Amino acid sequence: RYISTFRPSVKCEAAKNKAQWKTMGPAKVAVPSPKNFLQKHSKEPKLPARKKEQDSKKLPALSVPRRTDHPVMGIQSKKNFINTNAVAAITGLPKKPTPIYVDRRQGDKYLLETSGLVPKYIKKKDYGVTPKYVTQRNEEMKRAQKEYEASVLEHLKKGAMKRLSDEERRSLLQGLKKNWEEVYREFQGLSVEIDTIPKKIYKEKLESQMKQLEHDIEVIEKHKVIYIANE
């Protein structure tokens, strides 16, 4: 059987330290002196001693009168408060009542100023005045239009573009409208049932032609001045 080599030393230490714990706590305890008994408030934290006020660190003067202060006596006023109050009541303007409105039969009252019923917005000083950003934008648009017209005139001088006259524009517009009517008449003449591929292709072709003609008519009607490239 295996026996540890430290067994004798362990037995010796156990026998040596076993006698110390036969009592509650250590064997030798210092007995307190009867003079050091517990006193009242002895365990409360103690504040440091208050230092005396120095001349440089005096407290500011209090607005509350001190106990030793006495009011000034013997001051009299010659003002006639009765007559003064009577004159103020006669000459003063009457107090205007706060405008209110009642919205129920029970008499619930609300302030009229914050209700939105008073036309306060139209009484502003800047009411109806064009804002600055609008005028600035209009000026920029006019400047851009002038620059565009100047560039167009420059191209006209060079002979790269020419302007359509009113008669040419009118005749061009009438021709486009006439073409649209012809295409529309053909579109109305289509059969109700599109059952073959050629019919479907022909219908899509007429629709695209009508859309293109409508777009061209709208452009010409919108712009009174039209420039075209000079061939």
Q: How far apart are CA 59 and CA 22, in angstroms?
A: 66
> Mean pLDDT of all residues in the chain?
84
CA dihedral 180, 186, 192, 196 (to 10 degrees): -110
Per-residue pLDDT, 85: 92
Q: How far apart are CA 225 and CA 220, in angstroms?
A: 9
pLDDT surpassing 60 at residue 55: no
Mean pLDDT, residues 102-129: 83
Q: Which pair of structure tokens corresponds to residue 28?
A: 């030798």
How remote is the C-alpha of 224 from its chain's centroid? 46
Cβ pair 191, 203 in contact under 8 A: no
Half-sphere exposure of 128 (CA within 13 A, CB side): 4
Percent of the chain clearing pLDDT 70 (strictly above):
87
Per-residue pLDDT, 7: 92
Q: How far apart are CA 102 and CA 80, in angstroms?
A: 44
Mean pLDDT, residues 38-42: 88
pLDDT surpassing 70 at residue 159: no
**Taking the complete model, does pTM exceed 0.75, yes or no?**
no
State the distance between the two ends of the chain, measured CA to CA, in whole angstroms: 124
